[in-house]
Amino acid sequence: MSVRKLKPITPGQRFRVVNGFDTITTDKPEKSLLAPKKRSGGRNNQGRMTTRNIGGGHKQKYRIIDFKRDKQGIPATVKTIEYDPNRTAFIALVSYADGEKRYVIAQNGLKVGQTIVSGKDVAPEVGNAMYLSEIPLGTTISCIELRPGQGAVMARSAGSFAQLMARDGKYATVKLPSGETRLILLTCMATIGVVSNSDHQLLVSGKAGRSRWLGRRPRTNPVRMNPVDHPMGGGEGRSSGGHPRSRNGIPAKGFKTRSKTKASNKYIIERRKK
């Protein structure tokens, strides 16, 4: 994976850093795995705006991703590595031995022609999905289930990975990308390897118009607002705005909003770093 810095031939390209897309093998998605994607523009079913700064953007189709990896024991061949507009990671089109095609999240190092498989008694190689009970300790993993059969919910974005630290009883200890260490049932599945497109964090859009292409509308700095619009608004001249807080008054920067009685607290060994 690589990034390209463009020549400054226009103001918008002066600071632009784009993805090299050197691992992408095709720009035509598999039609049978596409679904329509409706835009809300931040409005609810009554047409009222409930989320600000959303709207516009290029039309997109959703790629149906196999997060469950439930075709166990059947080898699949990687056909293509593709860009997905709905996520930061790249995706891989795989064709199973029985002829079925599916999209999966691509891991770093996954190549066209490579064979991947999921289930029990599988080698811990990049792209293979295994149960936490069978993955060697210390292995780098991604696309992790939180409940058996639920499908991957953690470590799915570009460059994300977790580490399997230990096993005790029916739980595995996993260090997550946030720095949190938590217990996960051994019957949950995870994929071996780091999620692809790890250079995503180096990209620079270069101009405001590119945010509009992605469906992001301009955001007003709260300090510039009036007191009626935000707790940090108002004041004479360039006021600081007071303590940083959200539009509905909840303090930012260190204020804990997680419930002390949340059921999953007992599975968290170490909280994420501040």
Percentage with pLDDT > 70 across the chain? 99
Place of tokens 């991604």: 142
How many residues make up the chain in this entry?
274
- Domain coordinates of the chain in residue numbers? 3-40+55-200
pLDDT digits (tens, 9 = 90+) for 27-58: 999 999 999 999 999 999 999 999 999 999 99
CATH placement of domain 3-40+55-200: 2.40.50.140
**Around Cβ 274, how many Cβ atoms within 10 Å?**
6
pLDDT digits (tens, 9 = 90+) for 90-148: 999 999 999 999 999 999 999 999 999 999 999 999 999 999 999 999 999 999 999 99
Angle at 56 between CA 51 and CA 60, to 5 degrees: 105
Q: Which secondary-structure segment (H or E) carries 185?
A: strand 181-185
pLDDT digits (tens, 9 = 90+) for 187-239: 999 999 999 999 999 999 999 999 999 999 999 999 999 999 999 999 999 88
Q: What is the sign of the dihedral through the CA atoms of 129, 135, 136 and 139?
A: positive
Q: Is the pLDDT of residue 152 over 70?
A: yes
The answer to whether 100 and 63 are in contact (CB under 8 A) is no
Using pLDDT thresholds of 50, 70 and 90, give the confidence band for residue 273.
confident
pTM: 0.92
- Average pLDDT over the chain, rounded to whole? 95
Nearest C-alpha neighbor of 81 from the set 25, 2, 143: 25
Three-state DSSP class for residue 25: coil
Q: Can you say how many angstroms the Cα of residue 231 is from the centroid of all Cα atoms in its chain?
A: 32
The alpha helices in 112-239, defined as continuous H runs, are 208-213
DSSP annotation of 216: B
